[in-house]
Structure 1
Amino acid sequence: MTKRLSGGTVQALPALVARPAYDRSRVVPGIVHLGVGAFHRAHQAAYVDDCLAAGETGWGITGVSLRSADTRDALAPQDGLYTLAIRSSGEEKLRVVGSIGSMLVAPEDPGAVLAALADPRTRIVTLTITEKAYLRAAGGGLDTAHPDIVHDLANLQTPKTAHGFLAEALARRRAAGTPPFTVLCCDNLPANGATLHRLLIEFAELRGPGMKSDAGLASHIADAVAFPSSMVDRIVPATTDADRARIAGQLGVEDAWPVMTEPFCQWVIEDKFPEGRPAWEQFGVTMVDDVGPFEDMKLRLLNGSHSAIAYLGLLSGHATVDRAFADPAIRAFVDALWAEAIPTLPTNAGLDTTSYTAELTKRFSNTALAHRTAQIANDGSQKLPQRIVASAIERIEAGAPPEHLTLVIAAWIAASEARGKTLPEAHFTDPLDAALAEVFSQQLPANETVAAVFDLAGFAREHAGRQTLMELVASHLVHLRQGGVELALAALGIGSGSSAATLT
C-alpha cells in the first residue's frame, strides 16, 4: 500500500519540497477557522504557517467544516498536513503546510466547535464560508426566514450557521468573563467586517427574547467585539484526480487533497485586534486603517472580470479561464470592462490600476492553473451585486452608461438559462436556482425575464438607476439569445474571435 503524507513521512520527502520548519507538537491553537476549503488552505493557512515557522507558536489553526466532512476525512490521516502546489505556466513548486492542527465537522459535533470557540486560547476567528453562507435577504439584512436561521434561533446549543456558532460562543465567553475573540471575515463581501458585524447583531437580537443569558448580547457584540475588514486575493482552482496523481509522483507519498494555486497572493487587513494577532506583516500581509479602496479594486477589477470571463467563456465553449482569456473577443471585452470600472474606484487612495490590471493579465493567462469557468460561475446572484452591479449603478449616477458591465449580468442570466440546453444541467449552481428555473420555464421576453431576475436577486433595489440598468441588461440578453456572444460583443463594437454558442 502506498504511504500517505503524514507527520511520520513528511521529513522523508524530496529535498525540493518545502515543509514545516517548526515543531508542530509545540503549537498552541489560537485561531479557529470556519470554512476549511481550498482557498483557506492556499491563503490564510499558508500565512499562519510562515508565522509559526518564525516562532509565533500560539497561533495554530483549529479548522471547522460547517457542512461536509470531506476535508477532515482527507486530512485527518495526514495529521492535518497537505501540499500546496504553486503553479505558473513554466514551473510548479510544492510546499507542505502544517498550520492546521485539528479539524472539526460542525454537523457531527456542534458542541466541540462551540468549545473550541469558547476556549480562552482562541483569540481570532477567521471565516471563508462563501458569500451565500452569510444568509442575507435581498435587501441586505439577515434572512430571518432561512430554515437554518430558524433552526439556530430555536436550538442555541446546536447551531448550523456561522451566525449561530459565533453568537453562542460569544455569549459563553461573556458569561465566563473571557474576552471576546476578534472576528476576521475573509469573504468577498463589501465592507466584509462591518457587514458580518451588522448581521451578527441582527441575529443576536433575535435570540431568546427575555432570556437572562442573552440580555445585552447584541449590545456586547456591537460594542466589545472587533470585526476588522479584510481583502483576500489568490486564484485557487479545484483539485483534480490528475493533480493528485502528479503530486503523489513528486512527493513519493499520497496526498488525499493537495491544493492548487498561483504564485500571486495578497491579503490586506484592517489592523484592529484587541487580543493580539500574528505578525502577518512580516510575511507580505498589508495592515491598514482602511481596507475599502483595496477591496473595491479587487472586487471590481479582478472578481468582476473573472465573472465576465466565466459567463462569456461558458457561452463560448471555453472550459478554463486561460482559454477564454486567450479568445481575442473576450480579451478585448475585459479591457473595455476595466475601462468602465476603473473610474468608479476612489482616486485619492493611491491605487495603481495600471499595474494591477497588468498583473491580472498575467494571472488570467496562466495555463498551468486550468481554472474552470464553471467553478467561477457558481453563486452569481450572491457575487454580482458587489462585483458588477455596484459599479454599474455608480456609472449610471455619473451619467456614463455601463454598457460592458451590464453585459456581464446578461451573460449570467443567459448562461443560467442555457443549463440543460447548450450547457450541462448542473454545470454551475446558485442559491436561487429553483426560483430562476421557474422564471426561465415561462420563456418570457428579455425585458420581463430581466425584471423577474432582478426582483429575485434584489439587484439595485431602491436605486434610481435600476430601470436604466434593467433596460441595458435586457438589450444584451436579446443579443445573447439571438446570436450568442458573437452578436452581443459585436453590438459593443468588439469583433468576433470566439466560437459563440447560440441559445434557443
Structure 2
Amino acid sequence: MPDDVAPPNKPIALHFGAGNIGRGFIGALLADSGYHVIFSDVNQAVVDALNHEHAYRVDVLDQQEFTKTIKDVEAVKSESQDVVRDLAHPNTRIVTTAVGVTILQKIAPTIANGLQERRRVSAPPFNVVACENMVNQTEILKDHVYKHLPEEHHAWADEHVGFANCSVDRIVPGGRLDEEHPLDVGVEAFFEWVVHKPALRAPIDPVVQSMVLTDKLDAYIERKLFTLNCGHAATAYLGHLRGHHTIDRAIADPEVARIVRGGLEESGAALVRRHGFNKEEHAQYIDRIIDRFKNPKLSDRLERVGKQPVRKLGRQDRLLGPTYMAREYELPIDNLARIIAAAFLFDVKDDEESVQLIEKVQKVGVEDAVAEMTGFKTGTDEHRKVVEGYHQLQSKK
C-alpha cells in the first residue's frame, strides 16, 4: 500500500471483486464516503489498471446522464499476501464483497488468514459485509471463513468481527467495455444498500453515504429479492423466448410485461402478508421497479440477467422463494409458475447452467425435471401449473 496513495490515517475499505458492480456500486459509495478503497480481484489486467490510474469514471445512466470520477483507489491480486496485509491493517474499517455467491468460499481462506493476522497485531474491531444477491449472504461467507479459521480464534472473531447481512440494489449492466477506458462503468441512478445493524461489531465510520442500518433486514431482503430480482429474471426468461435481447426491449413487449407484472403482484401479495408492508406503497414499489427496467440507456442484455438459472431456481431465491411464500398463504401463483417455466426454456449455449437445465429436461422429461429442481411434487397444483406453463411457452417459441 504506497504511502502516496493511502494517507497513514485515512480509513481503508477492502473490497473483494473489481467487476462492474464492485466499481460501479459498492466501491464507488465507499470512496465517495471518505474511504481509501483497495480492490481485490483475480483479473491481473484490472488490478494493474487500478494501480496505474488510481481512479475511474462512473457514468450514471439516468434521463439526464452525468459522470462521477471515483478517486483514491488501488488494487491487489486476490489470494495474495497483500490481501492478508491489508485486511490486518489497523485502518481497515470494513471489508465488502461483490464476487458472486459461488466465489465466497474461494476468498474465505484468505479472509481467515487476514483475521488471524489482525488478531496478532491487535487491530481494532471491524465489519465484513458480503454484497451478493442472496439471502443471508454474509452469514454464508462467515461459515466458509470459520471453516478455515482455527477454533481458538473463533471467540475472538465473534467479538471483534461483525459479519452483517445486507440487501443491495442497483442495476449495473455489462457490455459497455471501452477499450481505451476499461475501468469506466455505467450504472442506473437508483441504488439501495441496507445493512443489519445488530450484527455490526464497530460503527460504520465514516458513515457510508445512503447506507441504511436496520434491525429488520429480512423484510428489506425479501422485498428486493422477490420484486427487483424476481422481475429482472422474469423479464429475461420471458423476453428471451419472445426473441428480445435487452431488458428494456423485453419489458416493452405487452405479453412479457403482463406476466412480469402479474408475477410481481402475486409476490407482492405474499410480501404484504408476511411483513406487513402497506399494500398501496408496495404497489408503487412494483411500479418503480418496472419503470427501472424500461430505461433504454441501461441496455442490459437478457443473457447476463438470466444467466445461471439453476442458482436462480434455488429454494429461497428470486423465483421459488416468492412462490413458496405465496402458497404458504394460499395465494395465487399462476404468473409466478409461468415465470418458473420460462427458466426451464432459457437456452443460452455459453451459459453452463442453462445447458445443464435444458439437458436435464431432455434426459428425464419436463415433469421429473420440474419436480427435482423446484421441490413441487408431481400431482400438486404447483407442479401442474409449472409444467402446463412450460408446454404453453414452448408451443409459442
Q: Please, what TM-score do these two structures have when normalized by structure 2? A: 0.88
SS state at 1:387 partner: coil
Alignment of 1:49-60 (within 5 A): 49-52=31-34, 59-60=35-36
Query: What code does the residue aligned with 1:38 have?
Result: N
Distance of 1:30 and 1:303 partners within structure 2: 31
Note if contact 1:446-1:475 (Cα within 8 Å) is conserved in structure 2. no
Query: What code does the residue aligned with 1:319 have?
Result: H
Higher strand share: 2
Shift of 1:278: 3.1
Match of 1:105 in 2: 77
SS state at 1:123 partner: strand
Distance of 2:306 and 2:110 partners within structure 1: 29
SS state at 2:283 partner: helix
Note if contact 1:232-1:266 (Cα within 8 Å) is conserved in structure 2. yes
1:105-150 Cα deviation digits (max 9, x unpaired): 125xx11111111222222111111122235xxxxxxxxxxxxxxx
Match of 2:321 in 1: 390
**Sequence identity of aligned pairs in percent?**
24
Q: In structure 1, which of residues 236, 246, 255 is the aligned counterpart of residue 172 of structure 2?
A: 236
Distance of 1:464 and 1:344 partners within structure 2: 21
1:431-464 Cα deviation digits (max 9, x unpaired): x85x54652552x432023234x1xxxx45xx88
Distance of 1:169 and 1:466 partners within structure 2: 51
Query: What code does the residue aligned with 1:451 have?
Result: A
Give the direction of change, closer, same or farther, for the CA distance of 1:383–1:131 in structure 2 (3 Å limit): farther
Distance of 1:474 and 1:200 partners within structure 2: 40
Query: What code does the residue aligned with 2:366 have?
Result: A
Question: Which region of structure 1 is more displaced relative to structure 2, 388-397 or 300-309?
Answer: 388-397
Note if contact 1:132-1:379 (Cα within 8 Å) is conserved in structure 2. no
Q: Do structure 1's residue 129 and structure 2's residue 99 form an aligned pair?
A: yes
Q: Do structure 1's residue 162 and structure 2's residue 107 form an aligned pair?
A: yes
Match of 1:227 in 2: 163
Shift of 1:186: 1.0
Match of 2:69 in 1: 96
Q: RMSD in angstroms over aligned alpha carbons?
A: 2.7
Q: In structure 2, which of residues 181, 195, 208 is the aligned counterpart of residue 269 of structure 1?
A: 195
Match of 2:276 in 1: 348
Name segments (4+ residues, structure 1) moved above 6 Å: 463-466
Alignment of 1:405-424 (within 5 A): 405-415=336-346, 418-419=347-348
Shift of 1:165: 1.4
Distance of 1:240 and 1:119 partners within structure 2: 35
SS state at 2:40 partner: strand
Match of 1:357 in 2: 286
User: Which of the two has higher C-alpha Rg?
Assistant: 1
Shift of 1:181: 3.2
Distance of 2:200 and 2:378 partners within structure 1: 39
Distance of 2:119 and 2:367 partners within structure 1: 52
Query: What code does the residue aligned with 1:117 have?
Result: L
Note if contact 2:31-2:37 (Cα within 8 Å) is conserved in structure 1. no
Match of 2:385 in 1: 472
Segments of 5+ residues of structure 2 without an aligned counterpart are none
Give the direction of change, closer, same or farther, for the CA distance of 1:215–1:293 in structure 2 (3 Å limit): closer
Distance of 2:383 and 2:43 partners within structure 1: 38
- Say how many residue pairs are matched: 387
Shift of 1:412: 1.4
Question: Which region of structure 1 is more displaced relative to structure 2, 356-365 or 466-475?
Answer: 466-475
Distance of 2:305 and 2:183 partners within structure 1: 20
Segments of 5+ residues of structure 1 without an aligned counterpart are 1-22, 53-58, 136-160, 208-213, 246-253, 420-424, 485-501
Q: Do structure 1's residue 35 and structure 2's residue 24 form an aligned pair?
A: no
Query: What code does the residue aligned with 2:56 have?
Result: Y
Give the direction of change, closer, same or farther, for the CA distance of 1:99–1:289 in structure 2 (3 Å limit): farther
SS state at 2:268 partner: helix
Match of 1:499 in 2: none
Shift of 1:261: 0.9
Distance of 2:25 and 2:161 partners within structure 1: 24
Q: Please, what TM-score do these two structures have when normalized by structure 1? A: 0.70
Q: In structure 2, which of residues 286, 301, 315 is the aligned counterpart of residue 372 of structure 1?
A: 301
Note if contact 1:239-1:258 (Cα within 8 Å) is conserved in structure 2. no
Note if contact 2:308-2:352 (Cα within 8 Å) is conserved in structure 1. yes
Distance of 1:257 and 1:263 partners within structure 2: 18
Alignment of 1:453-472 (within 5 A): 454=373, 459-460=374-375, 468-472=381-385
SS state at 2:15 partner: strand
Note if contact 2:93-2:205 (Cα within 8 Å) is conserved in structure 1. no
Shift of 1:401: 4.2
Query: What code does the residue aligned with 1:445 have?
Result: G
Shift of 1:98: 0.9
Query: What code does the residue aligned with 1:84 have?
Result: V
Note if contact 2:160-2:201 (Cα within 8 Å) is conserved in structure 1. no
Q: Do structure 1's residue 83 and structure 2's residue 37 form an aligned pair?
A: no
